[in-house]
Amino acid sequence: MANLRGRKRRWRTAASAGAVAAVLVAGTVPAVAAGPGHGVARGDQGLDKSDRGLDKEALRAALAGLPDENVTGGLIRMSGTDGRWTGTAGPSVPVADAHFRIGSVTKIFTSTVLLQLAAEGRLALDDTVQELIPGLLPAGYYPVTVGQLLSHTSGLQIMTCATEDMSPREAVDASLACGEPTEPGGATRYNGINYFIAGLIIEQVTGRTYGSEVRTRILTPLRLRDTYVPALDDWSIPAPYTRGLVTVPGGSGELKDVSVQNPYGWAEGGMISNAPDLARFFTALYRGRLLPPAQQKDLFRMPAAASGDTQFSNGGLQRTEFPDGTVVWGKSGHVPGYTSGAFATRDLRRVLVYALNPTDRSPELPYVLRIAGAAFDVPVPATAG
């Protein structure tokens, strides 16, 4: 397996999910004409009750053709009241419950812990970073609230000056030393620094490590035995796992195994999980098992003043609306060799978890679009092929 130790790669920026950001990150899917047989869902309550059950043939077709030169394998897990279905394809996916690196899906675990702390009165979404961690933000910065961190409206600098060998605090400090912030509360700008600071706040408020808080508050109560926050020096991934294979630069076409890699993403994108655990987590979260009513509203509440095509709730969820009006909520993630996501309708009629192993030869957007179209029975652009 490839040894990435010793490489000081620059931190991946806000657009780390690459082309996937254009669809299940951006919040809206490009409009296309709806053809016969597509769902007629409307609004945030999910799919219309007259809609049919899962289209299992479409789900199978979404994985057809794998592996190819762009994606070495993939898996889909569907659950919810409309039915269940699981499928895999390609040699990089050994079994349907294999572990994979979830990248920025980690952020929803982080936001859930912060919302729980808010419910306990240990902080508020209106509390500022300056109040919670004095001295972290340089003097003269605008006050930045916890809610602005979670909704990516903080205005803080993108993490272009941090490297993967830095600790979370060092990465934040390095990022804040580059460029200038903008005024918070306005434009939405997807930015990993927000969730590094969120992780630091969790540790400051609780006096415990970020990983221990996620484990105690979420993983243990929900019995998520295949999900964890790796230690920053733990590059391993437990078997069975999907293999991350990326193209070696230079045009040779050779693939390099990057399954063993630096979990530098931490509270922003460092966790490992599998499809059954992610489905269980998002289902429990949307049902209100992890948050009391006030914070459950915050989980889905969109910032009133935010602008931009990409929108995130006060709980960090992506709201994605398809051309036919179907609305789903969730989060996608990407690290080298791994692209994944978990999305569901508010009423939990359909819960999708997907994972792909992209080679980085070509954007994986068409594959994600095919999966989304099949999962939620919605029309997708012709670029889905």
What's the pLDDT score for residue 250? 82
Q: Inform me whether the pLDDT recorded for 369 exceeds 50.
A: yes
What's the pLDDT score for residue 251? 75
47 exposure class (CB count in 10 Å sphere: 0-12, 13-18, 19+): buried
Please write the tens of the pLDDT for every residue from 150-188: 999 999 999 999 999 999 999 999 999 999 999 999 889
Q: Inform me whether the pLDDT recorded for 36 exceeds 50.
A: no
Q: Inform me whether the pLDDT recorded for 29 exceeds 50.
A: no
What's the pLDDT score for residue 11? 52
Please write the tens of the pLDDT for every residue from 245-276: 999 988 788 999 999 999 999 999 999 999 99
Distances (CA, A) of 245 to 12, 260, 264, 357: 18, 10, 19, 7
What's the pLDDT score for residue 311? 83
Please write the tens of the pLDDT for every residue from 206-215: 999 999 999 9
Tally of CB atoms within 10 A around 361: 14
- State phi, psi for 58 to the nearest 5 degrees: -65, -35
pLDDT band at 3 (very low <50, low <70, confident <90, very high): very low
Contacts made by residues 177-185, CB under 8 angstroms, sequence distance 24+: 181/141, 181/142, 181/154, 181/155, 181/156, 181/157, 182/155, 183/142, 183/155, 184/142, 184/143, 184/144, 184/145, 184/148, 184/153, 184/154, 184/155, 184/156, 185/148, 185/153, 185/155, 185/303, 185/305, 185/306
User: Which comes out higher in pLDDT, residue 17 or 324?
Assistant: 324
User: Which comes out higher in pLDDT, residue 23 or 101?
Assistant: 101
Q: Inform me whether the pLDDT recorded for 10 exceeds 60.
A: no
What's the pLDDT score for residue 295? 98
Please write the tens of the pLDDT for every residue from 115-150: 999 999 999 999 999 999 999 999 999 999 999 999
CA 369 to chain centre: 16
Mean pLDDT, the chain, rounded, equals 88
Per cent of the chain over pLDDT 70 is: 84
Q: Inform me whether the pLDDT recorded for 39 exceeds 50.
A: no
**Across 90-104, 284-298, 315-329, least confident range:** 315-329
**Across 14-18, 58-62, 91-95, 298-302, least confident range:** 14-18
What's the pLDDT score for residue 307? 64
* 51-79 average pLDDT score: 94
The closest alpha carbon to 117, from 218, 223, 265, 231, belongs to 218
Length of the chain: 385
Q: What is the DSSP pairing of strand 327-335 with strand 318-321?
A: antiparallel
Q: Inform me whether the pLDDT recorded for 50 exceeds 50.
A: no
What's the pLDDT score for residue 88? 98
